[in-house]
Amino acid sequence: MQKPTYEDYKRTMRKITDVNNAMAVLGWDKEVNLPSKGAMHRTQQVSTLAGIAHELFADEKFGDVLKFLNENNGLDDRQRRNVSLTLKDYNRNKKYSTEFVMKSSKVISEGYAAWLKAREANDFGLYREPLGKIVAIKREESEILGYKDHPYDALLDIYEPEAKTADIVTLFKDVRDKLVDFAKRIKAQPQVPHEFLGKFYAHQKQWDFGIDILKNMGYDFEAGRQDLSPHPFTTNFSPQDVRVTTRVDERDFGNMTWSCIHEGGHALYEQGLPVDEYGLPLGSSVSLGIHESQSRLWENNVGRSLPYWKAHYNKLQNAFPENLQGVPLEDFYKGINKVAPNLKRTEADELHYHFHVLIRFEIEKELLEGTLQVDDLDKYWNKKYKEYLGVDVPNDNQGILQDIHWAHGSIGYFPTYSLGSFYAVQFYNQAKSDIPGLEEQIQQGDNAQLLTWLRENIHRHGRYYSAEDLCQKVTGEKLNFDHFMKYAEEKYSFIYGL
């Protein structure tokens, strides 16, 4: 019998990727174009493709190919890394029995339906029992996958490979010890002007401005497109077909503006992955945290900076003269960086956002440990919001029911949002060190060298490095919250006159 080759491995991986990407096209179409009557069969179509992809990846013969190649000394470094990462993914996938997959799918499907009903009724009580079953199935999953120190490690590893719960605990201790008090100092100051943000901004003018923003960032419209969807997202079918969506609120131009910049950051990462590694680990992103670092770097460190708006504010004023001609640039800059505690994670400012994530992480960790029960969750949620943000939760929809993640079974996901923001500042600081006059370039509307730096230092590597190793390689140290804290203190001390 002929020995398997690396080319055999590549062919199978690309076949699996083709099926997954066909499924992703259907998912994109569902959010952008699907007529209402098409939903039932679309669910069936996606389910069929998911089954095919799972069967291909779980095939014992493919496992034999991976094991053989993993012991083969004839591969180069990149080939070995591809095979070892795929073998890790394969071995994890093989731990799931068909019975467990089916049970988990049923529990999550029922939980999602219950969440929708609870949202409609604004009543957590309708979701309490189904959520309890989701938590139980995720506890079972953590035992199936295995862990050394904490059951949360097993689920966290799905989204942020090699990250440890203990490290996230340490990181969020810094958030509690440093950021909470700083936000309270800001709250004691007079609020910055921001009324101009709520005026009428015409849909088409916003759309045109958003397209210009994406082009200026370096987003390749020959390898992508932008459309409208209720919830902005980025999806990719190869580095040469990466699509973004945005939403437009005519009473809040910031909704469109920063969703364009945020999703554009995600898309630039995907467009920068190596084309010749299509379908392989080195042709995909490192982790959700690193992916989020790319969107947050562009959204916050660039897109909410004074140099960025020195380049773009005149164009925005000309598009909306009735709203902005009387607003000085410095007032505009302060207004778009307004800080105030709020109820909803997705509407939070750059600082309070991490309190929202911290609350969710603490809840998930305690649920997995069994020290917190779902029966007490809504009261515990409300208590945490009062403690960390000083706000009273008026109802379940603005509180415990606001996120879809748990209804999808995505426990272990939330910390990646904060990790992304913290990585972003550390990467951006390094880019400023490596590129003389970077902020002067941004002030002139030139982002080319920044994008080149990101391509060279982050995008081109795919999954070759872990997130921690990539951070060490790029910045010379592991993730360090002090970078974010210093950035926040300098920026918001100026904005709020601290």
pLDDT tens-digit readout, 110-153: 988 899 899 999 999 999 999 999 999 999 999 999 999 999 99
* 227 touches 242 (CB < 8 A): no
234-238/226-228 β-pairing: unpaired
Supply the pLDDT for residue 447: 97
Which pLDDT score, from 0 to 100, does residue 392 have? 97
- From CA 431, how far away is CA 454, in angstroms rounded? 8
Active site positions, annotated: 263
Contact 244, 232 (CB under 8 A): yes
Give the C-alpha distances (Å, rounded to integers) separating 41 from 20, 137, 227: 18, 28, 23
Distances (CA, A) of 416 to 163, 191, 361, 411, 424: 10, 30, 10, 11, 12
The tokens 């120190």 sit on which residue? 149
Residue whose C-alpha is closest to residue 460's, from 249, 195, 271, 181: 271
Rounded CA separation 139/496 (Å): 44
Structure tokens at 44: 């069936």
Terminal Cα-to-Cα distance of the chain (whole angstroms):
74
Candidates 3.90.1300.10, 3.10.20.440, 3.40.50.300, 1.10.1370.30; CATH matching 149-498: 1.10.1370.30
Residue 41 has a pLDDT of 85
Partners of 252 in the β-ladder? 249
Q: Mention every residue, 6+ apart, whose C-beta is less than 8 A from residue 98.
A: none
Among candidates 22, 4, 14, which has minimal Cα distance to 276? 14
| Predicted local distance difference test score (pLDDT) of residue 263 | 96
Low-confidence ranges of the chain (pLDDT < 70): 1
Residue 145's identity, in one-letter code, is L
SS3 call for 58: helix
Length of the chain counted residue by residue? 498
Structure tokens at 435: 């590129």
* CA–CA separation, 232 and 295 (whole Å): 12
Q: CB–CB of 252/242 below 8 Å?
A: no
439/436 Cα distance (integer angstroms): 9
The order of strands in the sheet holding 234-238 is 226-228, 241-246, 234-238
Contact 403, 417 (CB under 8 A): no
Decide the pairing of beta strands 241-246 and 226-228.
Answer: parallel
Residue 400 phi/psi, 5° resolution? -60, -20
Residue in the block written with tokens 């499924």: 23
Query: Which bin fits 405, alpha (ψ -120 to 50), beta or left (φ > 0)?
Result: alpha
Pair of tokens at residue 18 = 């083709």
Q: Which uninterrupted H or E stretch holds 235?
A: strand 234-238
Cβ count near 478 (within 10 Å): 12
Backbone φ and ψ of 391, nearest 5°: -115, 150
pLDDT tens for 327-381 read 999 999 999 999 999 999 988 999 999 999 999 999 999 999 999 999 989 999 9
Count Cα neighbours of 191 within 13 Å in the Cβ-side half-sphere: 9
Own/partner contacts of 150-158, CB < 8 Å, gap of 24 or more, are 150/365, 150/368, 150/369, 151/368, 151/369, 152/364, 152/365, 152/368, 152/369, 152/412, 155/368, 155/411, 155/412, 156/412, 156/415, 157/412, 158/412
Contact 247, 259 (CB under 8 A): yes
How many CB atoms sit inside 10 A of residue 233's CB? 17
pTM above threshold 0.85: yes
